[in-house]
């Protein structure tokens, strides 16, 4: 008992004894004095409590009798060294379980010789402090830091993981490291839900992994239980293994798994499998760890779903690619087969028209001209379909080089000149200066411009005006093909770039146009890193704008 402070403390022997008793009884650390045979001469309340008996019960007993059997091998050498050699040992750390308690505790002790007047050895003194709280706190912090670090590493790894296998490998590796587990596995249900397949097994002997690669979902294992029920399962000890999975407990022991954390993988609330982490030593899973394991499972589920969608998309795409390839092949062959007889039809019609097989009447000449127009139309239709298919399947090669706009426009206006002349149209170019050079495939650029110009001529009344305006900035050159024609209704302006779309077929004279020109032109423009757009006002005219990347000065030397 502590004396009241107002009562003066004298230094009499009796008082010293009482004080010493009070000090021992109140000390928050365990204190003991052992004789040369390591039997307790004096022990304070705190240490007696740790040992699990009263001061009276402890007194006279040997340290060995009082020590939990598991701890004695750790304590004995220290005590003996002090008793035999008279040397003190400070900050001696040991851990273990007290009798009747199953949590691991940690102590730090000083064991020292007790001498009378600094000479004769009376016995061994020990001061023992329970540092379990501190050790656990430090462990918790370390574990949290490890989990944080591994979570980042996992997130990084998952960004690059695009297949199911890559996701599983990343989750097992980083998940096990984050939880300080000795092994890990991902088990996924088969599509029919009848069996479970183990993937990415890590820390499991290869023969066991091979034997358990695939098994019935109903088998009594932690993984199948979790995959079936969607409930997490934490087995902390061999005892719990025996209680829940008696048939497997032995195998778990042989494999060296004393504790397991098994968490469900689920998509849209439906369990698709389980993530299992295995530990060689029995362990308690804190709330933090349980929550972390569930987060890990959620992360894994999402990544697996993403990988599954990507894989499905890849498969669909490669199937589509194959189908497209077949289509291209078919069209290429077919157009070749069609072109040969079509050319023959054209050739024979020409021979007839030339009168080689006898005189031709005017009526016959008229029919022959129709045959020839049809033949031309069919030929250009076939060629255009083939071009579009090739563009669609990226079978077109672009020979990109610096191209002078002025040179291309000269060629284009020469080609369309006769048409312009026939329809008595005004034609002018504006701002198309020699410094305007683009990155393009010259043939394809000509093709686009001829298509735009012939459309402008086709859809503009006789006597109308057509112009090409050029405009360049640092990055691109814009080529505007303007007409004063019939224009295009706003709701049709996007559609005309789709294949086979013609705004009003009646406006196209029979055999004029196929509805493929703009679809091909836009694909060609995009293939060269440019774009093709339209602005139009019905009744007033249309402007088609082709943009192309501008060639930098150093490139233009070649032009
Ligand atoms: P085609 O000219 O062979 O019919 P295009 O793909 O080149 O095929 O054009 C598709 C449709 O877009 C044309 O049929 C026409 O209806 C419309 N169109 C194209 N250019 C113009 C234009 N300059 N003025 C008005 N309509 C146009």
Q: Residue 499 is encoded by which pair of tokens?
A: 């294949």
Using the mean position of ligand 1's atoms as its centre, give its distance from the Cα of residue 488 in Å: 9
Query: Whole-prediction pTM value?
Result: 0.51
pLDDT surpasses 70 at 512: no
139-323 topology per CATH: Beta-Lactamase (3.30.450)
- The CATH architecture that domain 367-558 belongs to is 2-Layer Sandwich (3.30)
Q: What homologous superfamily does CATH list for 11-130?
A: PAS domain (3.30.450.20)
Using the mean position of ligand 1's atoms as its centre, give its distance from the Cα of residue 459 in Å: 7
Give the pLDDT mean for 180-196. 94
* Ligand 1 within 6 A of CB of 457: no
Kind and range of the H or E run holding 29: none
Of the candidates 385, 410, 398, the residue with the CA atom closest to the CA atom of residue 548: 398
* Ligand 1 within 6 A of CB of 541: no
Helices (DSSP H) in 354-470: which residue ranges? 362-392, 405-422, 442-458
pLDDT surpasses 70 at 495: yes
- DSSP-assigned letters across all residues of 218-252: TSS-HHHHHHHH---EEE-SHHHHHHH-HHHHHHH
CA-to-CA distance for 167 and 160, rounded, in angstroms? 9
pLDDT surpasses 60 at 46: yes
* Ligand 1 within 6 A of CB of 260: no
pLDDT of residue 553: 60
* Ligand 1 within 6 A of CB of 299: no
pLDDT tens, 231-246? 999 999 989 999 999 9
How close are the terminal C-alpha atoms of the chain, in Å?
Answer: 106
* Ligand 1 within 6 A of CB of 496: yes
pLDDT surpasses 80 at 110: yes
pLDDT surpasses 50 at 253: yes
Atom of ligand 1 minimally distant from the CA of 541: 24
Name residue, tokens 């034609």. 427
* Ligand 1 within 6 A of CB of 448: no
Pocket of ligand 1, candidates 459, 466, 542: which has the most ligand atoms within 8 Å of its Cβ, to mutate? 459
* Ligand 1 within 6 A of CB of 98: no
More confident residue, 121 or 492: 492
* Ligand 1 within 6 A of CB of 459: yes
**Confidence class of residue 2 from pLDDT cuts 50, 70 and 90?**
very low
SS (H, E, C) 367-382: HHHHHHHHHHHHHHHH
Give the pLDDT mean for 369-373. 88
Pocket of ligand 1, candidates 380, 455, 499: which has the most ligand atoms within 8 Å of its Cβ, to mutate? 455
* Ligand 1 within 6 A of CB of 485: yes
Indicate which residue's Cα is closest to atom 12 of ligand 1: 496
Atom of ligand 1 minimally distant from the CA of 502: 14
The C-alpha angle 137, 140, 142, rounded to 5 degrees, equals 110
CA-to-CA distance for 358 and 11, rounded, in angstroms? 153
Mean pLDDT, rounded, of the chain: 88
Using the mean position of ligand 1's atoms as its centre, give its distance from the Cα of residue 460 in Å: 11
Indicate which residue's Cα is closest to atom 25 of ligand 1: 487
CA-to-CA distance for 448 and 465, rounded, in angstroms? 19
Q: Would you kindly state where each structural domain of the chain is located, as residue ranges?
A: 11-130, 139-323, 367-558
pLDDT tens, 334-354? 877 888 888 888 888 888 988
pLDDT of residue 508: 52
pLDDT tens, 455-465? 999 999 999 99
Kind and range of the H or E run holding 138: helix 132-160
Torsion of Cα atoms, 245 then 250 then 256 then 260, to 10°: 0
Comparing 11-130 with 139-323, is the CATH topology the same?
yes
Name the DSSP class of 195: E
* Ligand 1 within 6 A of CB of 483: yes
């Amino acid at each position: 008992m502590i004396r009241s402070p107002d009562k003066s403390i004298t230094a009499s022997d009796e008082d010293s004894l009482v004080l010493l008793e009070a000090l021992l009884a109140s000390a928050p650390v365990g204190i003991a004095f052992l004789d040369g045979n390591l039997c307790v001469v004096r022990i304070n309340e705190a240490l007696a409590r740790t040992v699990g008996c009263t001061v009276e019960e402890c007194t006279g007993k040997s340290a060995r009798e009082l020590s939990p059997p598991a701890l004695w091998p750790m304590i004995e050498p220290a005590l003996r060294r002090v008793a035999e050699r008279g040397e003190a040992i400070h900050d001696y750390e040991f851990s273990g379980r007290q009798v009747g308690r199953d949590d691991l505790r940690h102590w730090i002790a000083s064991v020292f010789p007790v001498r009378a007047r600094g000479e004769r050895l009376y016995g061994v003194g020990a001061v023992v402090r329970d540092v379990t709280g501190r050790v656990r706190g430090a462990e918790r912090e370390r574990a949290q830091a490890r989990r944080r670090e591994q979570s980042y590493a996992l997130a990084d790894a998952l960004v690059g993981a695009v297949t199911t296998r890559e996701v599983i490998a990343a989750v097992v590796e980083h998940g096990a490291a984050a939880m300080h587990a000795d092994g890990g596995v991902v088990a996924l249900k088969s599509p029919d839900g009848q069996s479970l397949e183990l993937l990415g097994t890590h820390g499991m002997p290869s023969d066991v992994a091979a034997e358990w690669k695939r098994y019935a979902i109903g088998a009594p294992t932690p993984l199948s239980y979790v995959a079936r029920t969607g409930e997490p399962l934490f087995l902390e000890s061999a005892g719990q293994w025996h209680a829940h999975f008696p048939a497997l407990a032995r195998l778990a022991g042989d494999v060296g798994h004393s504790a397991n954390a098994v968490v469900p993988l689920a998509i849209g609330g439906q369990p698709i499998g389980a993530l299992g982490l295995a530990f060689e030593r029995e362990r308690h899973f804190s709330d933090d760890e349980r929550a972390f394991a569930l987060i890990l499972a959620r992360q894994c589920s999402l990544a697996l779903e993403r990988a599954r969608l990507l894989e499905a998309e890849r498969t669909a795409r490669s199937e589509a690619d194959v189908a497209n390839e077949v289509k291209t092949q078919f069209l290429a062959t077919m157009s070749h087969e069609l072109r040969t007889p079509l050319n023959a039809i054209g050739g024979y019609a020409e021979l007839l028209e030339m009168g080689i097989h006898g005189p031709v009447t005017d009526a016959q000449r008229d029919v022959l001209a129709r045959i020839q127009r049809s033949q031309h139309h069919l030929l250009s239709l076939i060629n255009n379909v083939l071009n579009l298919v090739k563009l669609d399947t990226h079978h077109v090669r672009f020979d990109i080089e610096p191209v002078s706009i002025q040179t291309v426009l000269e060629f284009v206006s020469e080609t369309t000149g006769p048409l312009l002349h026939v329809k008595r149209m005004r034609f002018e170019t504006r701002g198309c200066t020699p410094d305007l050079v683009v990155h393009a495939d010259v043939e394809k650029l000509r093709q686009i411009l001829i298509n735009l110009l012939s459309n402008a001529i086709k859809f503009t009344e006789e006597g109308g005006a057509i112009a090409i305006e050029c405009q360049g900035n640092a990055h691109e050159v814009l080529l505007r093909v303007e007409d004063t024609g019939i224009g295009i209704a706003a709701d049709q302006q996007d559609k005309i770039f789709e294949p086979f779309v013609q705004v009003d077929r009646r406006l196209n004279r029979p055999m004029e146009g196929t509805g493929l020109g703009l679809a091909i032109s836009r694909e060609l423009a995009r293939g060269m890193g440019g774009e093709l757009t339209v602005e139009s006002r019905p009744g007033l005219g249309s402007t088609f704008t082709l943009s192309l990347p501008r060639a930098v000065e150093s490139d233009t030397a070649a032009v």
